[in-house]
Structure 1
Amino acid sequence: MTITETSGRYNLLIFGILLPGFITGQIINLEERLKQAGYPVETHTVVTKDDYILSLYRVSDSPNLLPSVEHQIGNKSVVLLVHGMGGTPELFFILGRDSLGYYMADRGFDVWILCTRGISCSSKRLHKHYDWDRDKKYWDFSFHDIATRDLPSHIDYVLNRTSQSSLFLIGHSAGNTVIFAMAAELPEYNRKVKVAAAYAMSVILRGYDYPLMIFTASAVKVLKGLYRILGIVEFIPYVQYLRPFLSIACAHPEYRKICIGAVSIVGSQKSMLMDFQATLPLVISHSGLRLASKQIFHYLELIEAGAFKKYDYGPKKNSKIYGQTDPPHYNLSRVTMAVASFRAVSDSICTKKDIQDAMDRMPNVIFDYVVPYERFTHTDFIFTSNASRLVYEPTYRLFKFFDEGKVPPRRKKRN
């Protein structure tokens, strides 16, 4: 078979997978993906204190359980996966057996996957009172709301359901922003977390090296004013209607380079490990394209300020909400749970200096791991099969040792 024939068959396969999505607006969902792979999946519903109705997935068993952990049945540790901004639960399973979700399930963990507000998962209703297509109030949230309402609600639900007292957390990128904002604002949740494994700790973004985003961040006040005048609550309105078109376009050889460039922009630079031909169409089809403008503006403020701060409502409203004219910092000294940092050398979003700065502010960092591959990037934590060996394996060993009482010593802070 020639390369042309192989490529043609591949494109036909991708087209066959994505064409139904183009017609119906739906791509194969997580439940279907897991069932096809033989993994039992449960779908749960969590209602937050501010009435958002969120989905929560569970993979409590594996048809490919490793022999070394078969004896752990009935005594499984719980791990909750927290996706980043624009991510979805599907992305934790997108690479098949090399994916983080499958990897942890195969090693005897009770795996739960959070689905935050603003992401359409299994729940038909996404809020008790608001419709996300018609009611602007639905989109009035930033990552602070996800941190103080979504994540703690999910942690409480999972611990109650499993009769456990604490769990492991794994966050990627902005998922870590949520984790550490929660721990700083709701310190009582620190004792409910065994270890928070932070893949690309997106907390302090002073060294963020992406010129377009830096320029946009410098104009964030102007953008906020413009969006407020125009009454725009989603960062890119109606972007969800582009998903089917993007999926098919990115599967086509002529347009794939553009899509690769777009994904590379998100990841700060092009990945040298990601199989773009096989993975890119699936990444595009499962990306959480709908984002609250307030959520984006909050991140832009972090970049502009170079500090981990709360949302800026302006001096007058800040005084009313915070009791001061400037938004306060999240107090990272209140993050007392055990923290494990996983850093990529070629990540120009979450840089070495910024991650070290964040860790120096936390009292209980027990693991500081640099991925042993110089070209490893921000997106490689999730989108490359090599991550199973370079990142997931040391994560698994750390969790296993922690459960056995072999807790690493706390990281020494820099002077």
Structure 2
Amino acid sequence: MASKLNVTLNILLVLFIISFANVIRFPLTPINIETKRSLGYPRDSLLNFTELTGIYGYPAEEHRVVTDDGYILTIFRISRGKKYHGKTKRPPVILMHGLLQSSDAWLDAGPEDGLAYLISDAGYDLWVGNVRGNYYSRSHVRLNPDRDPEFWKFSVDEIGFYDVPAIIDYVLYYTKADKVNYVGFSQGAGTYFVMCSERPEYCDKARVLITLAPAARQKNTKSVLYRTVTEGINSLENILRLSGVQEVFSKGALSQEFLAFLCHLNWASEFVCATGEALFDSFHPGSINNVTLKNLFGHFPAGTSVHNMARYGQSMRSERFEKFDYGKSKNLQLYGSTRPPEYNLSAVTVPVIAVYGANDHLVDTQDVDWLMDKLPNVVEAVKVRDPLWNHMDVTYSSMTKTLLLPTISDYLLKYSYD
């Protein structure tokens, strides 16, 4: 009886979260930019990627990439860092965000701590990606995301098969480089593994893969909130689809606007929002400062599909890193087997560096260890020396420069050339 009650409560919680996050999607921003400024919203929380980099002296270019299946992705380039005056190092570096994030996540900690600023200041031609479904890549050559449910029929499976290869091809074509260096956080790493399994020729287009809290199997995830939401969406996907809910946690939806409003208030950001972020991940006092906390909720969550969230719910339950499980009959039709096929992690032949935290409640160290055992060319797996380092620290911590950047810089330099 207690177990059934828990299941019922979890389902009700997920329905509430989805309703709060997505049922009310504003066609226009409910509070305009000028009003937000007058209310004291932080300036940086209201700016987009090129505006943010520009005001700090890092002019960025905006580029459009079209995938083989018609999605239009917006990516950004910082060709030279403000603090670097030497010859730009080669090859170009691609920096890829995690689930429910956008390219802005790499800027929210500011020019002293945001990895986009730090990597460009180290002398690299930096390309910052966005994947389908977030607010920078909510476009298609044929489909309208507000009218066509087909737009939202994607998960990490499609992101890895289409988006990552398209971005790599575009960067190589534009820069005339022969290879890239790739830095992927969480989903941004997991989708690279998908690509190597399904399109191994692309695995050879990188000199090195630096993974930050890489998300593949997530069987041991400790975050109760994250697990409840993703597993709940996995169970309720068909109901949500029939109810017309295809997109979740989008920028401009009630959830994001509410968080942006609440967290710009000093008392709320210091207590309510910081505590909420910690409950989603884990507590790391002093790591994400109050200014960054206010900025990030202007850009987070950035949106994705119900189907992608359901895919993460599946990863919580499975011992394998596998394709989406549609059920026995549809699996048989699509895959030729009743179980979804495993991704071939032995195909990830590129040199891999993994950097992860002991206190990460989204990508648990047990799952990182499992992944490292499966990959054939792991150069080093580095546990961040701060025992409280968690998942969200990767993009937002004020200690990035001392705890994360040295490892990234060492390996980018090792696999670079003049």
> TM-score, with normalisation over the residues of structure 2?
0.85
Question: Shift of the alpha carbon at 1:173?
Answer: 1.4
SS in 2 for 1:308: coil
- Measure, in 1, the Cα distance between the counterparts of 2:78 and 2:235: 44
- Measure, in 2, the Cα distance between the counterparts of 1:126 and 1:65: 35
AA of the residue aligned to 1:40: P
Higher relative contact order (CA 8 A, sep 6+): 2
**TM-align CA RMSD:** 2.5
Please give the per-residue CA displacement for 1:261-280, whole angstroms capped at 9, x wherever unaligned.
332233x2122233442111
- Measure, in 2, the Cα distance between the counterparts of 1:220 and 1:117: 19
1:402 match: 415
AA of the residue aligned to 1:260: A
**Does 2:198 match 1:185?**
yes
1:80 match: 94
2:376 match: 363
AA of the residue aligned to 1:78: P
Question: Shift of the alpha carbon at 1:361?
Answer: 0.9
Once superposed, which parts of structure 1, at least 4 consecutive aligned residues long, lie more than 4 Å away? 14-22, 215-221, 236-239
**Does 2:173 match 1:154?**
no
Name which of structure 1's ranges 345-354 and 217-226 shifts more when overlaid on structure 2: 217-226
2:107 match: 93
Change in Cα spacing, 1:254 to 1:48, as seen in structure 2 (3 Å) is: same
Question: Shift of the alpha carbon at 1:82?
Answer: 0.6
Matches for 1:299-378 after TM superposition, within 5 Å: 299-378=312-391
The answer to whether the Cα contact below 8 Å between 1:139 and 1:234 also exists between their aligned partners in 2 is: yes
1:262 match: 276
The answer to whether the Cα contact below 8 Å between 2:135 and 2:250 also exists between their aligned partners in 1 is: no
The answer to whether the Cα contact below 8 Å between 1:190 and 1:335 also exists between their aligned partners in 2 is: yes
1:64 match: 83
- Measure, in 1, the Cα distance between the counterparts of 2:299 and 2:151: 21
- Measure, in 1, the Cα distance between the counterparts of 2:135 and 2:229: 27
2:123 match: 108
- Measure, in 1, the Cα distance between the counterparts of 2:225 and 2:255: 22
The answer to whether the Cα contact below 8 Å between 1:196 and 1:339 also exists between their aligned partners in 2 is: yes
Question: Shift of the alpha carbon at 1:28?
Answer: 0.8
Gaps of 5+ in 2: 1-32
Q: Count residues in correspondence.
A: 381
SS in 2 for 1:375: coil
Gaps of 5+ in 1: 1-13, 406-415
- Measure, in 1, the Cα distance between the counterparts of 2:351 and 2:37: 42
Q: Give the share of equivalent positions with the same residue, in percent.
A: 28
Please give the per-residue CA displacement for 1:308-335, whole angstroms capped at 9, x wherever unaligned.
1111112111111111111111110111
1:51 match: 70
Name which of structure 1's ranges 335-344 and 287-296 shifts more when overlaid on structure 2: 287-296
Change in Cα spacing, 1:218 to 1:110, as seen in structure 2 (3 Å) is: closer
- Measure, in 1, the Cα distance between the counterparts of 2:229 and 2:104: 29
The answer to whether the Cα contact below 8 Å between 2:250 and 2:256 also exists between their aligned partners in 1 is: no
1:383 match: 396
Name which of structure 1's ranges 226-235 and 172-181 shifts more when overlaid on structure 2: 226-235
The answer to whether the Cα contact below 8 Å between 2:251 and 2:257 also exists between their aligned partners in 1 is: no
Q: Equivalent of 1:118, from 105, 130, 133?
A: 133
AA of the residue aligned to 2:253: Q
